[in-house]
Chains A and B, each alone.
Chain A
Amino acid sequence: MNLQAVGASLAATREGLEVAGFSLQVAERNGRLSLTIGANEGACEECLVPKSLFLQMVRDEIAAAGEKVDGIDVVYPVDRKTS
């Protein structure tokens, strides 16, 4: 996985998250793409789309950029609160 290229392919998703007060952290863990969404102060948590939709978006963006990933893990702010 070309992590830099994959990260760049997610520019649209990143912009959408940032205008709603979130951050997007991109990493590779055990060969899988790890996407961690962080909530900044005042972030609109109800603005996050369901994970299935989020995955659809990022898969489409990665594919459109011609990149390939073996798997994607998404961590939402609420996941860290409940874990």
Chain B
Amino acid sequence: MIELLDPTREIGSGHMVYALRPSSLKGKTVGLIENTKYNSDRLLEMIGQILIDDYGVAKTKLYHKHYSSVPAHEEIITDVRKTCDFMIAGVGDCGSCSSGSVLDGILLEKEKIPSASIITHVFVNTGRAMAKQWAVPDYKFLVMQHPIANIPEDELLAKARAIVPEIVELLLAAPEAKAAA
């Protein structure tokens, strides 16, 4: 039997309340939740390595979602909450996987884990619609140029290098002065 999973819900309105941010990434553990799409794991690994090399992150933990279009499963959320200081989700380069990665970020922020969700520019409206459906229309996610699948390693690395400063900024400073205590 095929189980149909719909991660959407009734639209609501509100503001994103971000997790409290530490002042530095040094010595911290960063969870990387890849959404099963081609090159997502590779790109997140590259981002993780840059964070280790250039920002003093102690280690990264790579998690694999079961399905790209739904939020990370409970065991992933629980492990990130218990063992990680930050989380990066992505990379959304299709409709459903973009909405799924945006939702991962929203859910982990609600679990008090500073998070960054990454999608590609073609799916900004998808990410925004998902944030709206979860009553946080102002939720900030990060955007990189499409595509990430089927591109050579050096281009992938260039994309990773380009987005890391934005990731660091988002992980260390909530977009608005509504950080949760």
Contact = CB atoms under 8 A, between A and B. Distances in A.
A44 B93 CA distance: 12
A70 to B, nearest CB: 19
Interface stretch (B41-49, B78-86, B123-131, B166-174): B123-131
B112 interface: no
A60 to B, nearest CB: 7
A52 B96 CA distance: 12
A57 interface: yes
B68 A52 contact: no
Interface in A26-45: 44
A56 B11 contact: yes
Contacts of B132: 56, 60
A48 B124 contact: no
Nearest to A15: B122
B117 to A, nearest CB: 15
Contacts of B175: none
B128 A60 contact: yes
A52 B147 contact: no
A57 B129 contact: yes
A19 B147 contact: yes
A46 B96 contact: yes
Contacts of A12: 122, 124-125
A47 interface: yes
Given A16-B125, A49-B95, A60-B129, 10 more contacts: A12-B125, A16-B95, A20-B94, A46-B67, A48-B95, A50-B8, A53-B8, A53-B99, A56-B11, A57-B125
17 contacts: A17-B95, A19-B146, A20-B94, A46-B68, A47-B96, A48-B95, A48-B96, A49-B69, A49-B99, A50-B96, A53-B8, A53-B99, A53-B129, A53-B130, A56-B11, A57-B125, A60-B129
